[in-house]
């Protein structure tokens, strides 16, 4: 295990948590993060020391995986100040259905701290685990899942016209060229579904088959990436595009947007880059 690399990931998560808080993307205890840290853990856990719990379903492709998740009720600003105290690690057992909750000290310092007995994972855990299960199943390289509540994105989906994937992507691609450069495949969309529900998890997985970012109607945005900085950048670019649209509208005029020829040129450049 390269613990130095892992510690850098933790520093980056703390940094992004602070940025999210400053941007107003995490009102109250909104927003959550998960990170598959299995590659950083090379030890066996003495299960006799811990209470074994069960999920409502089997996560076939997360057997013996370690998933770091933010805890329920914590604020992003608290995560930025003291990450170890505001996360837990879910270790999924061989059956794919049972799990134990660990602290970083339990894993890396061989200490059964007992703190995880009173801490609960984020309420969006079903979606986070479903995503990591999907990533492993399809051997994708993403390891981190970030969910936030960007104000502009939530506002956009209050407009009926922008409650479908086609119209959202058409708007965002035309508004800001960075959208075509960084998200040529566009972003996915799910209609409003009860937060924290298995139904939301199922619909999110469907949308992720073609995308690495999903807008949840009237709820926020979720992105998957190899690390927290990349996930943050994805949501930041989407939010910037939506903000440009609203700034133009609030100034009293309809945004002109990029021409079709401009978008075709960006598509051509991206296609050439992916061939090298």
User: Which of 219-229 are b and which e, b meaning 16 or more Cβ less than 10 Å from the residue's Cβ?
Assistant: bbbbbbbebbb
CA neighbor of 11 nearest in space, from 68, 74, 79? 79
Q: Is 124 a catalytic residue?
A: yes
Would you report the helix, strand and coil content of the chain in percent, each value rounded to 5?
50, 15, 35
Cβ–Cβ < 8 Å for 226, 142: yes
User: Could you say which of 54, 78, 85, 124 is catalytic?
Assistant: 124
User: Which of 183-198 are b and which e, b meaning 16 or more Cβ less than 10 Å from the residue's Cβ?
Assistant: beebbbbbeebeebee
Cα–Cα distance measured from residue 102 to residue 88, given in angstroms and rounded to the nearest whole number: 6
Gyration radius of the chain over CA positions? 20
Task: Give the count of beta carbons closer than 10 Å to the beta carbon of residue 124.
Answer: 25
Catalytic positions, written as ranges: 124
């Amino acid at each position: 295990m390269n613990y130095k690399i892992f510690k850098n990931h933790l520093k980056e998560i703390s940094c992004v948590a602070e940025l999210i808080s400053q941007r107003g993307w995490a009102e109250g205890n909104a927003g959550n993060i998960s990170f598959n840290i299995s590659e950083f853990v090379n030890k066996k856990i003495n299960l006799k020391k811990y209470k074994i719990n069960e999920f409502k379903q089997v996560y076939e492709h997360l057997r013996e995986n370690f998933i770091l998740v933010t805890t329920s009720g914590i604020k992003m600003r608290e995560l930025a100040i003291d990450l170890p105290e505001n996360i837990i690690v879910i270790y999924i057992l061989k059956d794919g259905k049972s799990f134990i909750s660990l602290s970083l000290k339990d894993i890396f310092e061989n200490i059964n701290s007992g703190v995880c007995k009173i801490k609960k994972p984020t309420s969006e855990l079903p979606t986070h685990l479903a995503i990591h299960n999907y990533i492993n199943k399809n051997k994708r390289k993403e390891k981190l899942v970030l969910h936030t509540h960007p104000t502009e994105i939530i506002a956009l989906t209050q407009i009926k016209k922008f409650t479908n994937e086609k119209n959202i992507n058409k708007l965002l691609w035309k508004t800001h060229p960075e959208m075509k450069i960084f998200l040529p495949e566009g972003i996915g969309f799910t209609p409003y579904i009860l937060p924290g529900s298995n139904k939301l998890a199922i619909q999110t997985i469907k949308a992720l088959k073609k995308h690495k970012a999903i807008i949840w109607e009237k709820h926020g945005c979720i992105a998957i990436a190899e690390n927290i900085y990349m996930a943050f950048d994805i949501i930041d670019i989407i939010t910037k595009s939506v903000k440009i649209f609203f700034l133009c509208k609030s100034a009293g005029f309809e945004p002109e947007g990029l021409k079709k020829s401009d978008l075709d040129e960006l598509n051509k450049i991206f296609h050439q880059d992916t061939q090298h």
